[in-house]
Amino acid sequence: MTIDEQLQLLEDWLRQLKIEYDMFFGGGRKLPPYDLKVRIEKAIKRLLEERGMSHAQRFRYSNLAARYNSYQEMWRRITAQREEGRFTERPTAPAGEARPYSEDALSISISSPEVEESKIQDLYRFLSAAQQRLGDDPAPSYEAFRQFIVAKTDSVKKQLGCQAVTFSLKVEGKKLRLTAQKG
């Protein structure tokens, strides 16, 4: 596996770990995602020892490692608050990563879906997990969902004359609702 592929995998795992921790703190999981956390820590150590990284790859690695460390600090703080009985709010991401998220709702603003693939992936993961939790039919393929989001973003931007579109997925009772509005 190339260094770029390892970095992309690490980034995907970090995104998934954040989602799983959000679900854990929101009550949707009984245990923290330790297995994924261990995989990420091993990948970070393995990449740290990699000698053939370019400056761009080293920069990307540093950003991913810093993001993981900031998440770790946030999760440590929330866990301590829970143990002390002071946990009253849902976790929020570090600066620059804020996305309103709970096990029942996710809102993400997209301005350029071709560039913001990770946001579409977050929406798709939430959709799949929510449909599975509700016992609904499986989600459409990722590619079909991505094409829908791209088309809907373009349509709403043209219709409302805006720069971004906020997609909200909400579990309302036993139904999952997707809305798109001016972002």
Please give the full DSSP string across 132-162, using - where no structure is assigned.
HHHTPPPPPPHHHHHHHHHHHHHHHHHHHT-
- Please report, for the chain, the start and end positions of each structural domain, with discontinuous segments joined by +: 3-83, 105-182
User: Could you report how far apart the first and last alpha carbons of the chain are, in Å?
Assistant: 38
Give SS3 for 109.
strand
> pLDDT class for 102, splitting at 50, 70, 90?
low
Whether residue 2 is predicted with pLDDT greater than 50 in this model: the reply is yes
C-alpha span between 52 and 50 (Å, rounded): 6
Quick one: pLDDT at residue 125? Answer: 82
41-79 tens-digit pLDDT: 999 999 999 988 999 999 999 999 999 998 898 888 888
Instruction: For the full predicted model, state whether its pTM sits above 0.75.
Output: no
Calculate what percentage of the chain has a pLDDT beyond 70. 89
99-118 average pLDDT score: 75
